[in-house]
């Protein structure tokens, strides 16, 4: 390593010198960070290279295992950091920030550029869904020389990366930057195609040698309690998707707008999606924002400016007048005390239900030969880093299948 005792001299600092932050890595004999990352990122190795300013080689190692480090470097909850041995006695290595620094330096230096395959096969693959699983699958298959078409039912590519993540967490220019590279490498992107609706499934099977289903989880968990029918109660994803569309310049009918401006907002759900909704409401100019969570307060809580938070709270009912929500009746689970919260807009951020996912074998293939599945459609809702892993793994399985196919 650049300095084997760097972790004793330098404190974790997300805004600190990147080389010094990378030098905090101890190069453990057993790097649990590597094992806890679904992608198996070469974390100690690229930390070592970054500490010596060998940014080009650090990028090569990062690129070898991750199709979208500029995405995970911004959005991943970093299970690798939770596994960092340095975290037993000190603050763990800022692996996520180091990853982001490496990839952004690579873009700035011109190292991230289209690399079309040198040899093309005659095999055609359809990838249905353009979220992280679909995109990582398509990128890997395309690099192998196969002719890849990605189908997306929405009007733009990206899935939940585009419409489920607010701009303040992921500027869509970052996503578009990567999409331009993949398009230049040969991937064909087709939008506004809903397989089985305006594009027959049988046609898909006839035109392609293999099909990979990679749709995301979009079935929200509801709260079936008294007053749920009242107007002004919306699912988190509906709220975030609309916000992202408006930020992209789309004009929506006034009657359909979900806007927090000057309203008393209550977000039910204390996870990352709930936090995204709370921050979105703040940016829209909400009069007040209250976030409630049924679980106890965790040991570490991310700060949300301008948001009043309550933990161990269950919602009993909604109430209102003239079919419009005006508030919630809640109960504190630790002492069973009931209380009310006024609300003019309620956002349900309760996670997603597990749908009847496609069953596959160990090679990601369904019971129908040549039909594969990956990501949420196979394992259920999970982290972006797991979606990328699923997409890459499915691509490898498809590659083996195509190699054997006459």
* End-to-end CA gap in the chain: 49
User: What is the CB-side half-sphere exposure of residue 108 using CA atoms within 13 A?
Assistant: 7
pLDDT of residue 222: 96
Give 65-77 pLDDT, tens digit per residue.
999 999 999 999 9
Q: What percent of the chain has pLDDT over 70?
A: 99
Q: Which CATH class is domain 124-218+353-404?
A: alpha beta
Q: Indicate yes or no: pTM above 0.85.
A: yes
| Cross-sheet strand order for the sheet of 338-342 | 313-321, 324-332, 338-342
> Is pLDDT of 218 > 90?
no
Domain boundary assignment for the chain: 6-109, 124-218+353-404, 233-348
> Is pLDDT of 106 > 60?
yes
Q: Which two tokens stand for residue 405?
A: 């196919």
Q: Which CATH class is domain 233-348?
A: alpha beta
Backbone dihedral angles phi then psi of residue 190, each to the nearest 5 degrees: -125, 120
CATH fold label, 6-109: Fumarate Reductase Iron-sulfur Protein; Chain B, domain 2 (1.10.1060)
Sign of CA dihedral 237, 241, 242, 247: positive
CA distance 390 to 277: 27
pLDDT band with cut points at 50, 70 and 90 for residue 5: confident
Sequence-separated (6 or more) residues with CB below 8 Å from residue 323? 229, 230, 231
Mean pLDDT, residues 324-337 taken together:
97
Q: Which residue spans within 5-116 are E strands per DSSP? A: none
Domains 6-109 and 124-218+353-404 fall in the same CATH topology: no
* Bridge partners for 199 per DSSP: 195
CA distance 360 to 344: 45
Give 154-178 pLDDT, tens digit per residue.
999 999 999 999 999 999 999 999 9
| Mean pLDDT estimate for the chain | 94
Residue 342 burial (CB count, 10 A): 13
């Amino acid at each position: 390593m650049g300095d084997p005792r760097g972790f004793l001299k330098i404190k974790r600092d997300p805004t600190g010198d990147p080389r010094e932050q990378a030098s905090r890595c101890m190069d453990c004999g057993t790097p649990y960070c590597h094992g806890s990352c679904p992608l198996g990122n070469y974390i100690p190795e690229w930390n070592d290279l970054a500490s010596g300013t060998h940014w080009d080689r650090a990028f090569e190692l990062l690129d070898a295992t991750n199709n979208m480090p500029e995405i995970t470097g911004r959005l991943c909850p970093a299970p690798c950091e939770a596994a960092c041995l340095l975290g037993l006695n000190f603050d763990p290595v800022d692996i996520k920030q180091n990853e982001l620094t490496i990839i952004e330096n690579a873009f700035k230096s011109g190292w991230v550029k289209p690399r079309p395959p040198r040899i093309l096969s005659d095999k055609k693959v359809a990838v249905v869904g353009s979220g992280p699983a679909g995109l990582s699958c398509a990128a890997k298959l395309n690099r192998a020389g196969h002719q890849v078409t990605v189908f997306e039912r929405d009007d733009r590519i990206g899935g939940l990366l585009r419409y489920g993540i607010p701009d303040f967490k992921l500027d869509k220019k970052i996503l578009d930057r990567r999409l331009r590279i993949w398009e230049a490498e040969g991937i064909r992107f087709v939008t506004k195609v809903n397989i089985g609706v305006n594009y027959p499934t049988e046609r898909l099977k006839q035109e392609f040698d293999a099909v990979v289903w990679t749709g995301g989880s979009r079935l929200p968990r509801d709260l079936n309690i008294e007053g749920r029918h009242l107007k002004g109660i919306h699912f988190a994803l509906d709220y975030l998707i609309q916000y992202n569309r408006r930020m992209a310049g789309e004009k929506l009918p006034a009657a359909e707008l979900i806007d927090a401006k000057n309203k008393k907002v209550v977000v039910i759900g204390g996870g990352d999606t709930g936090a995204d909704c709370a921050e979105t409401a703040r940016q829209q100019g909400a009069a007040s924002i209250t976030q409630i969570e049924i679980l106890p307060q965790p040991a570490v809580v991310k700060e949300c400016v301008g948001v009043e938070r309550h933990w161990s709270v269950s919602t009993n009912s909604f109430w209102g007048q003239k079919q419009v929500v005006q508030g919630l009746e809640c109960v504190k689970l630790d002492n069973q005390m009931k209380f009310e919260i006024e609300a003019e807009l309620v956002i349900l951020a309760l996670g997603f239900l597990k749908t009847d996912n496609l069953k596959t074998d160990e090679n990601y293939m369904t019971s129908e030969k040549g039909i594969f599945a990956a990501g949420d459609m196979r394992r259920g809702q999970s982290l972006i880093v797991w979606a990328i892993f699923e997409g890459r793994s499915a691509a490898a399985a498809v590659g083996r299948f195509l190699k054997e196919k006459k």
